[in-house]
Amino acid sequence: MLVNGEKQRTVAVMDRGFQYGDGVFETIEIHHSTPLFLAAHLARLVQGCQQLAMPQPDMGLIRREIAQLCLQVDNAVLKLIVTRGEGGRGYRQPEPLALTRVLSVHPLPSYPQAYYDTGIVARFCQTRLGLNPALAGIKHLNRLEQVMACAEWSDETVQEGLMLNLSQHVIEGTMTNLFYAKQNVLYTAPIVDCGVAGIMRAWIMTQSFPVVEQYFSAQTLREADEIFVCNAIIGIWGVRELAGRCYPIGHLTQKLQHALAGEKQKQVAYANI
């Protein structure tokens, strides 16, 4: 773990990331020592800093530290955190301001291959996503809604919970973005009032499939032809069961899974040129 470039495992208790959740983070897959979708992750980090009115960190320095950590592992997860730094008591930011950056490497989760091949079971959560356009899209450090939603179930046969906003629109999963297909068109919720603008979501929307961003209800989702969830670590998982109803792992889901596998190979090959 690197804290402001130094090998250590602690952060100051007065750091605003600890005190207030005042910061942003990225979770990046390392595949064969290559950080995947790195440019997209760092662009979202910069966007998050802008939305929180934080100075932009030294991105060249962050890239060098990422490269340093990636050399030490093959397949892993890299977590990058940037906070507003240390400050006294109170919400007003300190002057002068010195950002804190934390980079840590973790084992890649060993999810069953069946999640990828035959899909997962999902449920609807009761915890609602609050509406706040100022924070929508970014991965800020305040994740209490997701923590509360994940606490709603302990059944290990359920792998993901789907979250609605206060207007009863389905937005995303607790750790994923959500798509459904109907008559060969993909649909996903707009990320304008709440939710995370995921890296995998953005990549999917660049592929050669029609995608419509629009709000939809739980009932509309139940009537889908196929459903899948995605993020930068799990990739793409089909949903085989939701609220007691079963779904196939459809051809759009499978094509995107195949395309993503090829994209990862391409990024690794390019990094090793």
Known catalytic residues are 27, 139, 172
Total residue count of the chain as it appears in this document: 273
**Residue 152 corresponds to which amino acid?**
E
Q: What angle do CA 192, 195, 199 make, to 5 degrees?
A: 95
67 class by beta-carbon count within 10 Å (0-12 exposed, 13-18 middle, 19+ buried): middle
Cβ atoms of residues 237 and 119 within 8 Å? yes
Q: In the chain, what are the helix, strand and coil shares in percent, each to the nearest 5?
A: 25, 30, 40
Q: Torsion angle of alpha carbons 187, 191, 197, 200, nearest 10°?
A: 0
**HSE-up (13 A, CA, CB side) for residue 97:** 15
Residue 141 in tokens: 């450090």
